[in-house]
């Protein structure tokens, strides 16, 4: 008879410590956060020195044996647990059986600038964690080199933000807690043009594309979901750009507008004469 696998006790200090990471103050104190589900845990295991430990149900450990192996190869402690323990740690309604505990991985802002980025998303006043994670995912997909969350934006490691990034959190540098004035000044000094995205902007995105002004290194500044960007933040930008509404929709939500803006810059930068275009030798 095969012995039943040994499961971690629900009263284990490891379980208690992981559970507390659902709260921001504990995340900040320990500089640890939760990655939930197979995609996020896989990405964490592949990101050097990030995954500290992993909790998995027996069923999930069998189904995702490759992720368990990657986690162990990365030096993470792997704990088998029953479903009630996973549910206790997880912040989702329907946990997928895997939860990772990860080290903070934000990048100092000066390192972002030193890399001379060509495309950056700046979340200036974004308070909704789902939107923050989705914009991060859009920036990753568009080929941005960095994301900056200002001190007025949501916590990068909020579980909803981590889930909404769908692993993109582990793909590109993210600077956090940077005052918007410092972010804009630093990017401008690095030769990056600052475009503020706002539905009431004076400049139209289509016109900017037609003028050929978007092929240069660019940082898009995105504001609050409900009230956009305050005037003092708009004033910092080189231009305030609106996404044109060609149909009857009242507006675009933040993540959709961010995707449109970031992809417009990515396309312009790769066009002939853009900062990413390749000049034949």
Give me the mean pLDDT over the 81-106 stretch.
Answer: 93
CA dist., res. 141 & res. 70, Å (int): 24
> What was the pLDDT predicted at 278?
65
**Given pLDDT bands bounded at 50, 70 and 90, which one contains residue 227?**
confident
What pTM, to 2 d.p., does this model score?
Answer: 0.92
User: In this predicted structure, what is the pLDDT of residue 4?
Assistant: 61
Q: What pLDDT score was predicted for residue 280? A: 47
Average pLDDT, the chain: 93
Tell me the average pLDDT across 18-37.
96
- Could you tell me the domains of the chain? 13-103 (3.30.1330.30), 109-270 (3.40.1280.10)
Distance, CA of 172 to CA of 23 (rounded, Å): 24
**Residue pLDDT, tens place only, 152-198:** 899 999 999 999 999 999 999 999 999 999 999 999 999 999 999 99
Please, where are the H alpha helices in the chain?
A: 13-20, 24-30, 38-46, 58-63, 65-73, 83-89, 109-114, 129-142, 159-165, 180-189, 205-211, 231-234, 254-270
Instruction: Please report the pLDDT score of residue 1 as a whole number.
Output: 45
CB-hemisphere CA count at 13 Å for 84? 5
pLDDT at 2 over 80: no
Q: What is the mean pLDDT of residues 118-133?
A: 95
**pLDDT for residue 281:** 42
Give the residue from 148, 73, 81 showing the smallest Cα distance to 109.
Answer: 148
Q: Give residue 279's pLDDT band: very low, low, confident or very high (50, 70, 90).
A: low
Q: Which pLDDT tens digit goes with each residue over 194-221?
A: 999 998 889 999 999 999 989 999 999 9
What pLDDT, on the 0 to 100 scale, is given for residue 3? Answer: 54
Q: What percent of the chain has pLDDT over 90?
A: 87
Q: Which two tokens stand for residue 157?
A: 């490691």
Over residues 242-251, the mean pLDDT reads: 91
- Say whether pLDDT at 95 is over 70: yes
Helix 254-270 × helix 129-142 angle, to 10°: 20
DSSP-assigned letters across all residues of 164-204? HHTTGGGTS-EEEEE-HHHHHHHHHHTT-EEEEE-TT-SEE
Mean pLDDT in residue range 125-143:
95
Q: Evaluate if residue 5 carries a pLDDT over 90.
A: no
Neighbour count for residue 63 (Cβ, 10 Å): 16
Query: 36-50, 224-238, 254-268: which range is least confident on average?
Result: 224-238
- Over residues 39-92, the pLDDT tens digits come to 999 999 999 899 999 999 999 999 999 999 999 999 999 999 999 999 999 988
- For the segment 115-131, the average pLDDT, to the nearest whole number, is 95
Q: How confident is the model at residue 277 (pLDDT cuts 50, 70, 90)?
A: confident
The pair of three-digit structure tokens given for residue 254, joined into one six-digit string: 């933040």
Q: What are phi and psi of 31, to 5 degrees?
A: 55, 45
């Amino acid at each position: 008879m095969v012995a039943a696998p040994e499961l971690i006790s629900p009263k284990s200090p490891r379980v208690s410590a992981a559970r507390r990471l659902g709260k921001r103050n504990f995340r900040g104190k320990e500089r640890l956060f939760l990655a939930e589900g197979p995609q996020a845990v896989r990405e964490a295991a592949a990101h050097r020195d990030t995954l500290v430990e992993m909790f998995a149900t027996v069923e999930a450990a069998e189904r995702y044996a490759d992720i368990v192996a990657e986690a162990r190869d990365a030096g993470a402690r792997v704990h088998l647990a029953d479903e009630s323990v996973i549910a206790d740690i997880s912040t989702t309604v329907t946990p997928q059986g895997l939860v990772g505990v990860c080290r903070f991985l934000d990048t100092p802002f000066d390192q972002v600038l030193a890399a001379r980025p060509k495309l950056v998303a700046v979340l200036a006043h974004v308070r909704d964690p789902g939107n923050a994670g989705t914009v991060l995912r859009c920036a990753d997909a568009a080929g941005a080199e960095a994301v900056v969350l200002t001190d007025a934006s949501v916590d990068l490691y909020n579980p909803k933000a981590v889930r909404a990034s769908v692993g993109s959190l582990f793909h590109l540098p993210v600077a956090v807690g940077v005052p918007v004035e410092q972010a804009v000044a630093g990017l401008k000094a690095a030769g990056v043009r600052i475009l503020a995205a706002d539905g009431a902007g004076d400049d139209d995105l289509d016109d900017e594309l037609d003028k050929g002004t978007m092929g240069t290194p660019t940082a898009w500044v995105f504001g609050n979901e409900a009230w956009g960007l305050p005037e003092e933040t708009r004033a910092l930008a080189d231009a305030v750009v609106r996404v044109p509404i060609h149909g009857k929709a009242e507006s675009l939500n933040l993540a959709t507008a961010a995707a449109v803006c970031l992809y417009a810059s990515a396309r312009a930068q790769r066009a002939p004469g853009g900062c990413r275009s390749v000049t034949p030798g």
